[in-house]
């Protein structure tokens, strides 16, 4: 008992001391000896180029407990690999980029997201990743006050209208429209289309796109909201079986999608399923729903999957080395290109600071995606209605491909997306 008492007392004292020591307010703030916060002339820790200065990027993601942890971990890893390769190529403007020192796990919780941002806001130049819409909204005001640019880990149409946020790839709204257009042209869809998705901005954005495409293609439209959880899809399955549509656009996670497709197919449903980019997981090839997925499921995505043959994909595969293929890597890698382009532009325009980076980010006319997307896809200068990228890739299930899907139709803008008046977000976040 004596040992326990000492143990408890010592551990409490250690914990309290740790908290106190890290928390002491320093009256003389040790500012970075450089152009400003997040950028310093000293080399990064474990620097690739020891003569370069250091730019710090922050990442606030969901790495353990939240619902997106399975995807967020490869996204973050791909981003680390991306910036490591940038450093190996010499860095930007005489600076190496350090993303690994400021990675925080916010557990998909807006409050923790906010807290982690407060902890890192003085140390970073920009946020290489901020995951979650309400989470990003929780810190958006502070980001604007700090002039910190952020890259979202999602494809919401609302981000096109936010100068503080630098997104890439067609958003869920256009993606859904392209999915519907493709299905009408290639799968003989004529009668009814149902949009099944999570409540909130993820499902809502896509549902708005499906509705617009349904109107343009003269289809009946119905929207069904379904919660997360593979055991909570009975309602969606029943509703689909009752309505008997020709097309179902699914905007959920992979487990829910597999349950819906498997559940409806088992009862004889033969309509087409088009899922948004986060609905596929290669492990689903082993599920009982696999035959139904192969026959009926297609994935609409912002770019080609992991195994696609482009210089950018190849660079990514080389940089990552031997990993289980997963399109989280593709997303993390591709999202980082515009930030690189903005950094280079800020450097050309007279030096990299938070303000110049934010300014550069909204003045891009093209981004070198190394073939993953065409250069004009990254343009941000101008009205979102003119510059927003509207093309999507349609992939089919292919057991031989590294991530289980391969391209059925390469980047195309469907007629609905082409003609859509994009003057405000498809699903408003505020």
Partner 1 sequence: MTDFFQALVNGFGQGSIYALLALGYVMIYKATRVISFAQPALMVVGGLFSYHFTSELGLNFWVGMVLGIVCGALVGMLVERIALRPMLGKPVFTLAIITIGVDIVLRIVSNRYIGVQSRIIEYPGGNERFSIGDVSISHQRLGLIAVTAVTVAALALFFQYSRTGLAMRATALDQETALAQGIRVGAVFALAWAIAGGLAAIAGTFVATGNAGIEQTSWIIALKALPAIIIGGLDSVQGAVVGGLAVGIVEALTATFQPDVAPWLGANFALVAPYALMFVVLLVRPYGLFGTREVERV
Partner 2 sequence: MSSRLRGRPLVRTSYAQDMALLNTPAKRRSTIAIVIASFLVPFLVTDDLLLVLTLGMISAVGAIGLNLVTGYAGQVSLGHAFFIGLGAYTGAVLGGDPDAAVTGYGLPIYVWLPAAGLVAAVAGLLVGPIAVRLRGLYLAIVTLGLVFLGDHIFREARDLTGGPGVGRRGPDLVVFGIDMGESGVVLGLDLAREQRQFLMALVFLIVFAVLARNIARSGVGRAFSAIRDRDVAAAVIGVDLTRYKVMAFAMSSFFAGVTGALYYAVVGVFEPSAFGLLLSVQYLAMILIGGVATISGAIMGAIFISSLGRISGEIAHVLPFISESSGTDGLLSVFQLEAILYGVLIIVFLIFEPRGLFGIWTRIRNYWKGWPFSY
Query: Rule CB under 8 A: is residue 244 a binding residue for partner 1?
Result: no
- Which partner, partner 2, partner 1, none, binds residue 137 by CB below 5 to 8 Å per kind? partner 2
Q: How far is the CB of 320 from partner 2 (least distance, A)?
A: 10
196 binds partner 1 (CB under 8 A): no
Asked if residue 404 binds partner 1 (CB under 8 A), the reply is no
Which structure tokens are listed for 200? Answer: 């909130």
Looking at the Cβ atoms of 63 and 248, the one nearer to partner 2 is: 63
Query: CA-to-CA distance for 171 and 152, rounded, in angstroms?
Result: 12
Determine if 428 is a binding residue for partner 1 (CB under 8 A): no
Sequence-separated (6 or more) residues with CB below 8 Å from residue 203:
195, 196, 197, 225, 251, 252
Query: Residues near 235 by Cβ (< 8 Å), separated by ≥ 6?
Result: 224, 226
Closest distance of CB 382 from partner 1, Å: 37
**358 within 8 A of 36, measured Cβ to Cβ:** no
**CA-CA distance, 176 to 196, in Å (whole number)?**
11
Cβ nearer to partner 1, comparing 229 with 351: 229
- Contact between 231 and partner 1 by CB under 8 A: the answer reads yes
Query: Could you say which of partner 2, partner 1, none residue 138 binds, taking C-beta under 5 to 8 angstroms by partner kind?
Result: partner 2
Of residues 252 through 281, those in contact with partner 1 by CB under 8 A are 254-256, 258-259, 261-263, 266-267, 281
Handedness of CA 319, 335, 111, 19 (dihedral sign): positive
Cα gap 127→98, rounded to integer Å: 11
Closest to partner 1 by CB, 58 or 263: 263
Contacts of 95 by beta carbon, 8 Å cutoff, 6+ apart: 39, 52, 53, 54, 55, 352
Site string for partner 1, 11-50 (x = CB under 8 A): ----------------------------------------
Compute CA distances 64 → 44, 72, 105, whole Å.
27, 9, 7
Smallest separation (angstroms) from partner 2 to the CB of 383: 23
Site string for partner 1, 47-76 (x = CB under 8 A): -----------------xx-x-xxx-xx--
Q: Find the shortest distance in angstroms from Cβ 61 to partner 2.
A: 8
Token digits of residue 53: 């200065």
Range in contact with partner 1 (rule: CB under 8 A) among 146-154, 249-257, 347-355, 373-381 = 249-257
Cα gap 12→331, rounded to integer Å:
43
Separation between Cα atoms, residue 400 and residue 410, nearest integer Å: 18
| Contacting positions for partner 2 (CB under 8 A) | 4-5, 7-9, 11-12, 15, 18-19, 22-26, 61, 63-65, 73-74, 76-77, 80, 100, 103, 105, 107, 109-112, 114-115, 118-119, 133-135, 137-138, 141, 198-202, 323, 428-430
Residue number, 264 or 403, with CB nearest to partner 2? 403
3-class state of residue 60 by DSSP: strand
Q: With CA atoms as reference, report the closest residue to 298 among 372, 392, 218.
A: 392
Q: How many residues bind to partner 1 according to rule CB under 8 A? A: 45
Find where tokens 């007279």 sit: 350
Closer to partner 2 by Cβ: residue 123 or 347:
123
Figure out which of the listed residues 284, 343, 357, 377 binds partner 1, where binding follows CB under 8 A. 284
Least spacing, CB of residue 59 vs partner 1, in Å = 17
Question: Are 327 and 403 within 8 A, CB to CB?
Answer: yes
| Spatial CA neighbour of 57 closest among 77, 75, 85, 37 | 37
Q: Are 236 and 196 in contact (CB under 8 A)?
A: yes
Among 288, 311, 351, 382, binds partner 1 (CB under 8 A): 288
Distance CA 137, CA 119 (A): 17
Taking the least distance from each CB to partner 1, the nearer of 94 and 227 is 227
Contacts of residue 102, Cβ cutoff 8 Å, sequence gap at least 6: 56, 57, 58, 59, 120, 123, 124
The whole-angstrom distance between residue 321's C-alpha and the CA centroid of its chain comes to 21
Give the nearer residue to partner 2 in terms of CB position, either 25 or 242.
25
End-to-end CA distance of the chain: 56
Q: Is 190 in the site for partner 1 (CB under 8 A)?
A: no
Residue from 50, 90, 200, 291 touching partner 1 (CB under 8 A): that is: 291
Of partner 2, partner 1, none, which one does residue 429 interact with (CB within 5 to 8 Å by kind)?
A: partner 2
Token pair 């919780």 is found at 109
The smaller minimum CB distance to partner 1, of residues 91 and 278, is found at 278
Q: What minimum distance in Å lies between the beta carbon of 226 and partner 1?
A: 7
> Which residues here bind partner 1, judged by CB under 8 A?
64-65, 67, 69-71, 73-74, 199, 225-232, 234-235, 237-239, 242, 254-256, 258-259, 261-263, 266-267, 281-284, 286-289, 291, 324, 326, 328
């Amino acid at each position: 008992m004596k040992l326990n008492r000492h143990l408890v007392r010592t551990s409490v004292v250690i914990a309290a001391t740790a908290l106190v020591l890290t928390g002491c307010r320093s009256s003389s703030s040790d500012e970075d000896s450089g152009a400003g916060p997040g950028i310093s002339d000293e080399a990064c820790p474990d620097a690739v180029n020891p003569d370069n200065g250091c730019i710090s990027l922050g990442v606030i993601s969901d790495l353990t407990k939240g619902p997106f942890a399975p995807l967020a971990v490869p996204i973050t890893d791909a981003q680390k690999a991306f910036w490591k390769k940038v450093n190996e190529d010499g860095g930007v403007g005489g600076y190496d980029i350090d993303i690994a020192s400021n990675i925080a796990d916010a557990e998909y919780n807006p409050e923790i997201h906010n807290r982690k941002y407060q902890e890192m806001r003085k140390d970073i130049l920009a946020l290489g990743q901020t995951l979650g819409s309400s989470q990003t909204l929780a810190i958006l005001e502070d980001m604007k006050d700090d002039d910190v640019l952020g890259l979202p880990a999602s494809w919401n149409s609302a981000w096109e209208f936010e100068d503080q946020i630098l997104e890439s790839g067609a958003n869920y709204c256009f993606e859904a429209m392209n999915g519907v257009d493709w299905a009408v042209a290639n799968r003989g869809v004529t009668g009814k289309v149902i949009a099944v998705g999570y409540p909130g901005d993820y499902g809502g954005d896509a549902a708005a796109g499906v509705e617009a495409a349904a109107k343009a293609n003269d289809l009946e439209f119905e929207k069904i909201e379904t919660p997360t959880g593979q055991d909570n899809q009975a309602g969606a399955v029943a509703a689909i079986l009752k309505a008997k549509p020709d097309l179902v656009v699914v905007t959920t996670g992979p487990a829910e999608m597999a349950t819906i497709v498997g559940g409806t197919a088992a009862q004889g449903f033969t309509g087409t399923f088009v899922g948004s980019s986060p609905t596929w997981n290669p492990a689903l090839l082993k599920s009982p729903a696999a035959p139904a997925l192969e026959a009926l499921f297609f994935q609409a995505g912002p770019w080609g999957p992991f195994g696609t043959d482009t210089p950018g994909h190849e660079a990514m595969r080389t940089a990552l080395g031997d990993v289980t293929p997963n399109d989280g890597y593709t997303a993390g890698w591709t999202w980082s290109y515009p930030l690189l382009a903005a950094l280079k532009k800020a450097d050309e325009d007279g030096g990299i600071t938070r303000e110049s980076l934010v300014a550069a980010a909204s003045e891009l006319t093209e981004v070198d995606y190394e073939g993953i997307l065409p250069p004009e896809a990254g343009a941000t200068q101008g009205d979102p209605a003119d510059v927003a990228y509207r093309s999507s890739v349609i992939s089919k299930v292919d057991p031989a491909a590294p991530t289980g899907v391969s391209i059925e139709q390469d980047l195309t803008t469907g007629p609905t997306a082409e003609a859509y008046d994009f003057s405000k977000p498809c699903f408003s976040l505020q």
